[in-house]
Structure 1
């Protein structure tokens, strides 16, 4: 259904086995895999700001009042894809499907300004084509141990007892359990002794529009011998990321492509920094893309049999924000 870029994954393996540092960017369908050696990053037009690695020199001041408008599709339009997803869940073809949309936005911020002034764990500005400010780690590899931190479930932080409500919400809980289970299985393909270290951890995310709570867990394992030092092989095995696709993966991918009816491109792909020893990578969410001169924000959420149309529509809209404050 989609072509995997085998050659590039092999290149990633060669570099990581030789302990050569590099940055990589992989799109949602693993068709485009880009590799940048450390000395190539600057001239490539990429700006990167991870917790462990940054190419940004100095923070620039922002001397303007932020203008921000979004133009979400109608509930009816959102419903047509939502219904396709729910129908497939009802038929047993999927038990969790991530359904995403693209929303036109207008702002007086440039993509580069959004990159510089957003607060997030992972930020990348990609050649004036897209920018993202992601809170979600994909996998980390530290001394032969692989860790993943699936994030599923968000709530408006201004609601009463929001963090507790999120933890105890039946639908969000079921969704979180499913993703943890899926990623535990995924990790087992490349690691032994896989276990859940932290479950339903609540993170606070501050934004210009509204504050949110998000729920995540931590899963870890010891890399199998045949995957040690092979970052490309690990990525090839684990992608697309379970948290932004659903389960079971092959059928859910089919459902997603049919229901969404637009090209995700790099959105919900992954990118990462290999420092010669260890790896830190993230899922490319909270994502703004430029098409000609129009900006689009891509966002969505997980759908289960318990999902309610209005709630999912609202969640998709809640995620259209910039974390600048």
Structure 2
């Protein structure tokens, strides 16, 4: 999967070893890898709003009421791929598969307005192509330490005792354990002394449609000597991100490509900023893409043997939101 882009990962290693700050963006299958130094970011028309790097203008107030309509596929249509995924889980080919869908949306906001007015930990606008507002960190690298924060499990925050219900939900808990285990194993490929520091931490995500609680954990490790200062080599080892793929990775990827029937493209890929010393990166979820004149929102969730069709369909729809409030 990565042979054609082996050179790009080497270039990332070279930049990071020379301590040259750069922004990188890698699609889901690591078939498209783009890298830009700070001056190139501007020319490309990329707008970035990360915690440790921003290249944005002061925000103007939004003087209009947000109009937002989504046209999710029918339950029957969703069920086709869902059944394929469940069949593969029953056969033992996967024990967690992240199944995503593509939903047409209509809004009176431009991609740029969505970028400027949405609230999220990580936001990127790729001019006339896509915008995302992601709550999910992929990896952070600080010195010789690496951190990852898998996010799995969401619930409508308006439900009674929602945070407790989420923490104790059998299916969500099993899914979260699986992803934590998967990412602990992934991190062990590039790091030693890998440990789960925080487990089942609950975050509130505000949106105009509804507030959601999301469950995440923190896993840390110390980079192995051969990976220190080599961002490209680290990314090549860790991608695709386990939280948006499933486990085991190679077989689950085959299942996803068959069941979903659309090209994820940059959705669920990763992007990040290397500042010359440290790296912060995110998973590109909560993602709106422009195809010709139509906007599509890509969303989904993890499927396990305990998943119920109606619940997963509802979760996919719950995630079609814009965090403007």
Query: What TM-score do the two structures reach when normalised by structure 1?
Result: 0.99
Contact 1:4–1:30 under 8 Å retained in 2: no
Match of 1:300 in 2: 300
Change (3 A) 1:309 1:117: same
Match of 2:85 in 1: 85
Match of 2:136 in 1: 136
Match of 1:259 in 2: 259
The CA deviation at 1:39 is: 1.1
Runs of at least 5 residues in structure 2 that lack an aligned partner in the other structure? none
Where 1:253 maps in the other structure, the secondary structure is: helix
The CA deviation at 1:60 is: 1.7
Match of 1:221 in 2: 221
Change (3 A) 1:210 1:10: same
2:48 aligned with 1:38: no
Distance 1:41 1:30 in 2: 20
The CA deviation at 1:42 is: 0.8
Match of 1:274 in 2: 274
2:240 aligned with 1:240: yes
The CA deviation at 1:266 is: 0.2
The CA deviation at 1:43 is: 1.1
Alignment of 1:19-38 (within 5 A): 19-38=19-38
The CA deviation at 1:57 is: 2.2
CA RMSD of aligned residues (A): 0.7
Alignment of 1:169-188 (within 5 A): 169-188=169-188
The CA deviation at 1:127 is: 1.6
Distance 2:201 2:321 in 1: 22
Which has the larger displacement, 139-148 or 2-11?
Answer: 2-11
Runs of at least 5 residues in structure 1 that lack an aligned partner in the other structure? none
Match of 1:71 in 2: 71
Contact 1:3–1:30 under 8 Å retained in 2: no
Distance 1:168 1:251 in 2: 29
Alignment of 1:85-104 (within 5 A): 85-104=85-104
The CA deviation at 1:259 is: 0.3
* Deviating 4+ runs (over 3 angstroms): 1-4
Distance 1:217 1:69 in 2: 33
